[in-house]
Amino acid sequence: MTETAEKPVENRAFEADVAKLLHLMVHSVYSDKDVFLRELVSNAADACEKLRFEAIENPSLLGDDPKPHITISADEESRRLTIEDNGVGMSRDEMIEALGTIARSGTKAFMDRLEAAQGKEGAQLIGQFGVGFYSAFMVADRVQVFSRRAGADGAWVWSSDGKGEYSVAPAATDEAPTRGAKVVLHLMEDAKSYAERWTLERIVKAQSGHVPVPISLVEKPGAEPVEIADGAALWTKPKSEISKEAYAEFYRTVAGAYDDPAMTVHYRAEGRHEYTALAFVPSAEPFDLFDPDRKGRMKLYVRRVFITDDAELLPRWLRFVRGLVDSNDLPLNVSREMIQESPILAAIRKGLTSRILGDLEKLAENDKPTFETVWEAFGPVIKEGVYEDYERREQLLKLARFKTTTSGAEWRTLSDYVEAMKENQTAIYYLAGGKAEQLLASPHLEGFAARGVEVLLLSDPVDSFWVTAGADFGGKPFKSVTQGAAELSLIAKPEAAETPAPEAQASVADFIAFAKTTLGDAVEDVRASDRLTTSAVCLVAPDFGPDRQLEKIMASSGRGGAGAKPILEINPAHALVVALAAKGAEDQTFREDAVSLLFDEAKILDGERVVDPKAFSGRLARVLERASK
């Protein structure tokens, strides 16, 4: 007598608090309803994998259908979706065991049996806790599972609306598959789009396109199946078998991009943690590079099944990297939305980050033009790591490239800079601000240029932050040319500059003291400058605190408050300063106007606006009027 004849229709209650758990499933565990299809395809792939191993000892189980396959059939008019496989299938008791109890899985039991067996390799099985199947109730108000165990005659149907009970009954011959399982979802009204071809094809290609079983789609009843996934995962193939064109095509698919990758990182990690990584560094800047959330775009797979593209597989300063990681160790279970908390993922993140940085170093050494293309596109983002990632700061600084006052159109490394430092130079000097052309016009550079001292031109907003984060290179600190004393007196000029006569020097010193009294609380100090050679004045920041550029950034963001008072530096050798200093104290108003105009000039040269345009205009008119007499 067959199993079907012995066991009639039977209604049973779930062996767990189904209503509560299903509510959790629908509202908490999964943030995206699309995952139900991923879960059902994963279960189908599991069933095919189980059959493959069982057939090693019993080849007759395969019958005349040895090749595994999964078929998804849509019926938009009836709001019905079917996922069918030719895997191992389930008997009546296995249905009750696997589908009647949430958080119990036939896969887990199978793994336990497999581990106890000798001489068999580990199976690539998904779904260790058996909750994924119930995600179907997010989109269906009734679910049926028709199944025939491989090697058995009888077929069974499991049915439930997910509200506390299910039934198991003999299945009609024409409804059950010859072998395997067929899951039929009766879709809710608001989920009918899941019976549309384009929706199904999009989800399968995005989330399950690389499971180890081919997937076909039947667009509507009576249509021919069309293969939409071939069951082959590119990243599982040896690198020697993958062409550059194949890598590029896969990159464009996974990244949604049109450029070619500048660098491809493909490797398999073995040992304590096993995973495969396939990552691409783009050659063009993606549109979301400076998205405020700074999220990465690496996809996480577990045994070739897509899990999420929201796992932090790389630090945020490598968010431009596209690709995926496929882990053999991570569990595919109810916590997969929180899987990034796993220590396994932390180990993967560390290993992947180190590998990408190492390959970028090799690229910089072996293919300078390509690396410079990468740096031009992503240098500002990589420099975020200098500020955020202390552990890798030295490595990132070695990788960094800079434009300088002496480099022209070429990029310079910090090693290049240090090698070219002048005698008695103790710091790496930089100027942060706008575009390089604007920076080159700054008066702060004059004294450095006169001594042949190279200055880094930092034109990215992040530069103002990482240079203040305690960074140094080769024991040499970074110092802004707009902050504190320039400390240039110890660095010799190629040619001695002309200096004023002693009496002129004395009068200039008196003029500087007068300027300090005149400007009062508007400045921190007024002093003679050794950084100016052709300009009369400039503004600098005090020795401690932010430099001039960082102050501007903080002020524009509303976080700077009143800010530190600037220091006005005056070039004691400038002809205008010498002439003004020679004026007697009898023309007090003129001298006061001249000092205020010099202060306003320094602000304009620093990119600031005049605080009081009316007062500025009045002073300028009085000075011009006097000059015209």
What are 541's strand-pairing partners? 483
Edge-to-edge strand list for the sheet holding 322-327: 261-269, 275-282, 322-327, 297-302, 305-308
The answer on pLDDT for 132 being more than 50 is yes
Radius of gyration, CA atoms only, the chain: 36
Q: Contact at 8 Å (CB) between 567 and 540?
A: yes
Other Cβ atoms within 10 Å of 259 Cβ, number: 16
* Backbone CA torsion sign across 265, 266, 270, 272: positive
Report how far apart, in Å, the C-alpha atoms of 532 and of each of 114, 281, 425, 568 are: 79, 43, 18, 12
The residue-averaged pLDDT of 453-458 equals 96
Q: What is the pLDDT of residues 578-589, one digit of tens each?
A: 999 888 766 788
Counting residues of the chain whose pLDDT is more than 90, the rounded percentage is 55
- Alpha helices, H only, 83-217: 92-99, 106-116, 197-203
DSSP state of 402: B
List the one residue out of 278, 277, 322 whose CA is nearest residue 296. 322
pLDDT at 246: 87
Q: Contact at 8 Å (CB) between 220 and 50?
A: no
The answer on pLDDT for 501 being more than 80 is no
Q: Contact at 8 Å (CB) between 284 and 256?
A: no
In sequence order, what E strands does 468-517 have?
472-473, 476-480
Helix, strand, coil share (%) of the chain residues, nearest 5: 40, 20, 40
Confidence class for position 495, pLDDT limits 50, 70, 90: low
Distance CA 448, CA 429 (A): 9
The answer on pLDDT for 499 being more than 70 is no
Q: What is the pLDDT of residues 339-394, one digit of tens each?
A: 767 888 999 999 999 999 999 999 999 999 999 999 999 999 999 999 999 999 99
Max CA separation in the chain (angstroms): 126
The residue-averaged pLDDT of 512-535 equals 93
pLDDT at 110: 52
pLDDT at 139: 92
Confidence class for position 255, pLDDT limits 50, 70, 90: confident
Confidence class for position 40, pLDDT limits 50, 70, 90: very high
pLDDT at 486: 73
The answer on pLDDT for 510 being more than 80 is yes
pLDDT at 2: 42
Phi-psi group of 397: left, alpha or beta (phi > 0 → left; psi -120 to 50 → alpha; rest → beta): alpha
Annotated binding site: 39, 43, 85, 90, 105-106, 128-133, 336
Report how far apart, in Å, the C-alpha atoms of 333 and of each of 101, 105, 124, 339 are: 15, 11, 15, 9
Q: Which of 51-55, 67-71, 170-174, 606-610: highest mean pLDDT?
A: 67-71
pLDDT at 119: 45
Confidence class for position 271, pLDDT limits 50, 70, 90: confident
Confidence class for position 111, pLDDT limits 50, 70, 90: low
Please report the domains of the chain, with CATH numbers, ordered by start residue: 3-229 (3.30.565.10), 234-372 (3.30.230.80), 502-628 (1.20.120.790)
Q: How many alpha carbons fall within 13 Å on the CB side of residue 119?
A: 2
Annotated binding site for ATP: 39, 43, 85, 90, 105-106, 128-133, 336
pLDDT at 561: 52
Distance CA 238, CA 217 (A): 29
326: helix, coil or strand? strand
What are 186's strand-pairing partners? 80, 142
Q: What is the pLDDT of residues 549-561, one digit of tens each?
A: 887 777 766 665 5
pLDDT at 389: 94
Distance CA 582, CA 508 (A): 8
The residue-averaged pLDDT of 510-524 equals 93
Q: What is the pLDDT of residues 2-27, one digit of tens each?
A: 444 456 788 887 655 555 666 665 55
Distance CA 88, CA 42 (A): 14
328, two tokens: 């053999």
The residue-averaged pLDDT of 92-119 equals 65
Distance CA 629, CA 584 (A): 18
Q: Contact at 8 Å (CB) between 286 and 374?
A: no
23, two tokens: 């509510």
10: helix, coil or strand? strand
Distance CA 303, CA 210 (A): 9
Distance CA 621, CA 380 (A): 45
Distance CA 94, CA 105 (A): 10
The answer on pLDDT for 150 being more than 90 is yes
Confidence class for position 1, pLDDT limits 50, 70, 90: very low
State the virtual CA torsion across 348, 354, 355, 357 in degrees, nearest 10.
140
More confident residue, 271 or 2: 271
The residue-averaged pLDDT of 568-580 equals 92
Beta-carbon contacts of 413 under 8 Å, excluding residues fewer than 6 positions away, are 398, 400, 401, 402
Task: Tell me which of 56-60, 263-267, 274-278 is least confident.
Answer: 56-60
Confidence class for position 120, pLDDT limits 50, 70, 90: very low
pTM across the whole model: 0.75
Confidence class for position 500, pLDDT limits 50, 70, 90: low
Helices (H) and strands (E) in the chain, counts: 19, 22
Beta-carbon contacts of 83 under 8 Å, excluding residues fewer than 6 positions away, are 37, 40, 41, 44, 70, 71, 72, 182, 183, 185
Q: What are φ and ψ of residue 409, in 5° steps?
A: -85, -5
Q: Contact at 8 Å (CB) between 420 and 454?
A: yes
Distance CA 502, CA 492 (A): 22
The residue-averaged pLDDT of 380-409 equals 95
Phi-psi group of 119: left, alpha or beta (phi > 0 → left; psi -120 to 50 → alpha; rest → beta): left
Q: How many alpha carbons fall within 13 Å on the CB side of residue 86?
A: 17
The residue-averaged pLDDT of 194-221 equals 91
Strands 155-160 and 428-432 come out as unpaired
Beta-carbon contacts of 528 under 8 Å, excluding residues fewer than 6 positions away, are 508, 509, 512, 569, 570, 571, 572
83, two tokens: 């996922």
Q: Contact at 8 Å (CB) between 479 and 470?
A: no
pLDDT at 452: 92
Q: Contact at 8 Å (CB) between 386 and 466?
A: yes
List the one residue out of 195, 235, 257, 211 whose CA is nearest residue 85. 211
Distance CA 247, CA 242 (A): 7
Confidence class for position 436, pLDDT limits 50, 70, 90: confident
The answer on pLDDT for 115 being more than 70 is no
- Mean pLDDT, the chain, whole residue set: 86
Q: Contact at 8 Å (CB) between 49 and 108?
A: no
